[in-house]
């Protein structure tokens, strides 16, 4: 079965640079979620989109922005990168925005900021 | 959002042993998921189980919604079961909140 696809899988950036992470949800899933997992931490919700509109917002820094496109893929844009942004970034998708829907997680993008 | 507490925080087992991991949540949930994070960082969906009992091979899970806890059972553990096990819950219209995880090490 198709899964959530994330690219790139690994990314190394310098401080103050920008990064763009991409997420391709499972086919027919219209809701996308982004999570950040710091070293030794649990995943923290950043932001979600339903039908190309932002549906919920968590602890996402103002330096980060995200959007969902007409084909339902999503991109997380991160600017003025800081050392503390080094983390695993997960994208998840669900069939709809119903809270009872299972969220399926992608393999993650490991971002290292030097 | 809800609070999710997992226990134990760490667990070391010999291969072949059984174990039970627990997840307590502070409010009623309409979504509860268990995940296994392998050493490569991938989050693998194990169960979607807001209530009831499910089984998948050597793994099974039970959620008692009225008492606000869920249990994950691992039987005949194997070294490949090592990693971090997370439960995550969602109440009402909040977002999915993860517990701190249980780090499991299965030794040969």
User: What are the DSSP calls for chain A, one per residue?
Assistant: ----EEE-SEEEE-TT--EEEEEEPPTT--EEEEEEE-TTS--EEEEEEETTEEEEE-S--TTEEEEE-TTS-EEEEE-S--GGG-EEEEEEEESSS-TTSPPEE---EEEEE-
Q: How many helices (H) and strands (E) does chain B have?
A: 0, 11
**B19 strand-pairing partners:** B74
CB-based contact (8 Å) between A101 and chain B? yes
Residue B80 pLDDT level (bands cut at 50, 70, 90): very high
Residue ranges making up the domain that contains A92: 5-108
Domain count along chain A: 1
- Residue A98, pLDDT score: 81
Q: Is the pLDDT of residue A1 over 80?
A: no
Encoded tokens for B91: 């109440």
Q: Is the pLDDT of residue B24 over 80?
A: yes
Taking the domains of chain B in order of start, what are their residue ranges?
4-107
- Residue A22, pLDDT score: 98
Range B85-95 average pLDDT: 88
Q: Do B95 and A48 touch (CB under 8 A)?
A: yes
Task: Return the CA Rg of chain A.
Answer: 13
- Listed range (A81-95, B19-33, B82-96) with the worst mean pLDDT: B82-96
Residues A63-108 have pLDDT tens digits of 999 999 999 999 999 999 999 999 999 999 999 878 788 999 999 9
Encoded tokens for B38: 């392998």
- CB A100 within 8 Å of CB A40: no
CB-based contact (8 Å) between A105 and chain B? yes
> Residue B31: helix, strand or coil by DSSP?
strand
A110 interaction partners in chain B (CB closer than 8 Å): 41
Residues A6-44 have pLDDT tens digits of 999 999 999 999 999 999 999 999 999 999 999 999 999
B45 interaction partners in chain A (CB closer than 8 Å): 102, 104-105
Residue A16 lies in a domain: yes
- Residue A97, pLDDT score: 79
Q: Testing the interface with B: which of A36, A47, A60, A99 to mutate, by most B Cβ within 10 A? A: A99
- Residue B63, pLDDT score: 97
**B70 strand-pairing partners:** B23, B63
Q: Is the pLDDT of residue B95 over 90?
A: no
Domain B4-107: give its CATH code. Answer: 2.60.40.10
Which secondary structure element, helix H or strand E, spans residue B45, and what is its range? strand B43-48
CATH number for the domain that contains residue A31? 2.60.40.10
């Amino acid at each position: 079965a198709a899964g959530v696809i994330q690219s790139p899988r690994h990314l190394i950036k310098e401080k103050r640079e920008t990064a763009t992470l991409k997420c391709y949800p499972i086919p027919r899933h219209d809701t996308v979620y982004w999570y950040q997992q710091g070293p030794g931490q649990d995943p923290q919700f950043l932001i979600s989109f339903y039908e190309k509109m932002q549906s919920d917002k968590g602890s996402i820094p103002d330096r980060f922005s995200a959007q969902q496109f007409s084909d339902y893929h999503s991109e997380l844009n991160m600017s003025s990168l800081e050392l503390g942004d080094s983390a695993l970034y997960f994208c998840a998708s669900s069939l709809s925005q119903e809270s009872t829907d299972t969220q399926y997680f992608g393999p993650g993008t490991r971002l290292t900021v030097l | 959002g809800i609070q999710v507490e997992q226990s134990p925080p760490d667990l070391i087992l010999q291969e072949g042993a059984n174990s039970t991991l627990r997840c307590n949540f502070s409010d009623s949930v309409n979504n509860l998921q268990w995940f296994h994070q392998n050493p490569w960082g991938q989050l693998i969906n194990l169960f979607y189980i807001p209530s009831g009992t499910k089984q998948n091979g050597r793994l099974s899970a039970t959620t008692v919604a009225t008492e606000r806890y869920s249990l994950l059972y691992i039987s005949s553990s194997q070294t490949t079961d090592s990693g971090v096990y997370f439960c995550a819950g969602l109440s009402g219209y909040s977002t999915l909140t993860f517990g701190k995880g249980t780090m499991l090490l299965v030794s040969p």
